Amino acid sequence: MILLDGKITSQKITEKIKLDVQQMTAKGFRPPHLGAILVGENPASKVYVRNKIRLCDAVGFNSTVIRLPKDTSEKDLIDQVNQWNDDDSLDGYIVQLPLPDHIAADKVNLAISPKKDVDGFHPHNVGRMCLGLPSYLPATPQGILTLLEEYDISIKGKRVAVLGRSNIVGRPISILLSQNRKIGNGTVTVLHSRTENLVDELKSADLIIAAIGSPNFVKAEMLKPGAIIIDVGINRVEDASRKRGYRLCGDVDYENVKENADYITPVPGGIGPMTVVSLLINTLKAAKKEVYG
């Protein structure tokens, strides 16, 4: 079994981005600038934004965070989005999800300029991705592709099972892995809560992307020997033996599965770090105008 170490891989990419930024500034260009809008006091969201800003500092990016109260109106949030769309000093930005219930995330995403949509959620970028045109790829799918490439794992002609159909992970990664690209040309099946004979589908897969948000759902008996396992899930489960009262686990029963897999990602330390560094990759592309010119 080979561990697909997202922490080490993301550190390598971080060093490359840092060098790239140094070369940009040495030529007289300003550093890339990433913004984040955080609405409310969601603890996980606050941690995610803090980690992203720390990584910006580490590579030499400029960063700006706007923190808005939970009762911010949808109109006021979209007004802020429009202000940032017109701010030429800002290369890209994110609106951290989830948003409070009274704000429609789809409306907010549609308001973000595709040129600054470094999360890759705007339909314009999704459409370009589907057509194989230059675009900002969603961070988690991009992180998966990068990790597979780092370990020189080819999926050409292999059967791929994507467990989950969200617009953030499941749908985009199923499209990307089926495309004619370096890490692609797989035969992809999307599995979900209405899939019949789900275990049989998993057993036939050479590569499984687990992204359903269900702790330890995927068991060893559901897999073919030698499968490649990418665990996107990150779940909190109660654990009285831990100081925090909980531990983190993925959608895959790691201890039960690892000996039957050829490759597997850990949780934490797998796809999580790759997702964060992918946001920096998109911001660097935005600063260099590699997608939209």
- Residue pair 20/284 in contact (Cβ under 8 Å)? The answer is yes
Q: How many residues does the chain have?
A: 293
Provide the pLDDT confidence category of residue 152 given band limits of 50, 70 and 90: very high
- Residue 245 pLDDT > 90: no
> Among residues 113, 128, 163, which one ends one of the domains?
113
Query: What are the CA-CA distances from residue 134 to residues 163, 169, 190, 286, 291 (Å)?
Result: 26, 19, 24, 11, 5
- Residue 43 pLDDT > 90: no
Choosing from 5, 91, 119, 231, which is the catalytic residue? 119
Residue 220 in any domain: the answer is yes
Do 146 and 94 reside in the same domain of the chain? no
Provide the pLDDT confidence category of residue 153 given band limits of 50, 70 and 90: very high
Do 171 and 210 reside in the same domain of the chain? yes
Provide the pLDDT confidence category of residue 63 given band limits of 50, 70 and 90: very high
Task: Say what the pTM is.
Answer: 0.94
Choosing from 96, 117, 142, 253, which is the catalytic residue? 96
Do 146 and 266 reside in the same domain of the chain? yes
- Residue 241 pLDDT > 90: no
Q: Characterize 230-243 residue by residue with b for buried, 16 or more Cβ atoms within 10 angstroms of its Cβ, and e for exposed.
A: bbbbbbeeeeeeee
Residue 181 sits in a domain whose CATH number is 3.40.50.720
Task: Give me the pLDDT at residue 237, please.
Answer: 86
Task: Give me the pLDDT at residue 239, please.
Answer: 82
Residue 289 in any domain: the answer is no
Please give the residue range of the domain that contains residue 167: 139-272
Do 181 and 86 reside in the same domain of the chain? no
Longest pairwise C-alpha distance within the chain: 59
Dist CA 99 CA 40 (whole Å): 8
Task: Give me the pLDDT at residue 244, please.
Answer: 82
179 belongs to the catalytic site: no
Do 84 and 155 reside in the same domain of the chain? no
- Residue pair 120/89 in contact (Cβ under 8 Å)? The answer is no
The number of distinct structural domains making up the chain is 2
Residue 132 in any domain: the answer is no
Provide the pLDDT confidence category of residue 293 given band limits of 50, 70 and 90: confident
Do 144 and 109 reside in the same domain of the chain? no
- pLDDT, tens only, 252-269: 999 999 999 999 999 999
Do 148 and 106 reside in the same domain of the chain? no
- pLDDT, tens only, 109-139: 999 999 999 999 999 999 999 999 999 999 9
- Residue 17 pLDDT > 90: yes
52 belongs to the catalytic site: yes
Residue 33 in any domain: the answer is yes
- pLDDT, tens only, 192-238: 999 999 999 999 999 999 999 999 999 999 999 999 999 999 998 88
Do 153 and 221 reside in the same domain of the chain? yes
152 belongs to the catalytic site: no
Average pLDDT, the chain: 96
- pLDDT, tens only, 75-106: 999 999 999 999 999 999 999 999 999 999 99
Residue 5 in any domain: the answer is no
Residue 236 in any domain: the answer is yes
Q: Characterize 175-206 residue by residue with b for buried, 16 or more Cβ atoms within 10 angstroms of its Cβ, and e for exposed.
A: bbbbbeeebbbbbbbbbeeebeeeeebbeebb
Do 151 and 40 reside in the same domain of the chain? no
Dist CA 237 CA 250 (whole Å): 10
Query: What are the CA-CA distances from residue 236 to residues 23, 94, 242, 246, 249 (Å)?
Result: 41, 24, 12, 6, 7
Residue 22 in any domain: the answer is no
Residue 120 in any domain: the answer is no
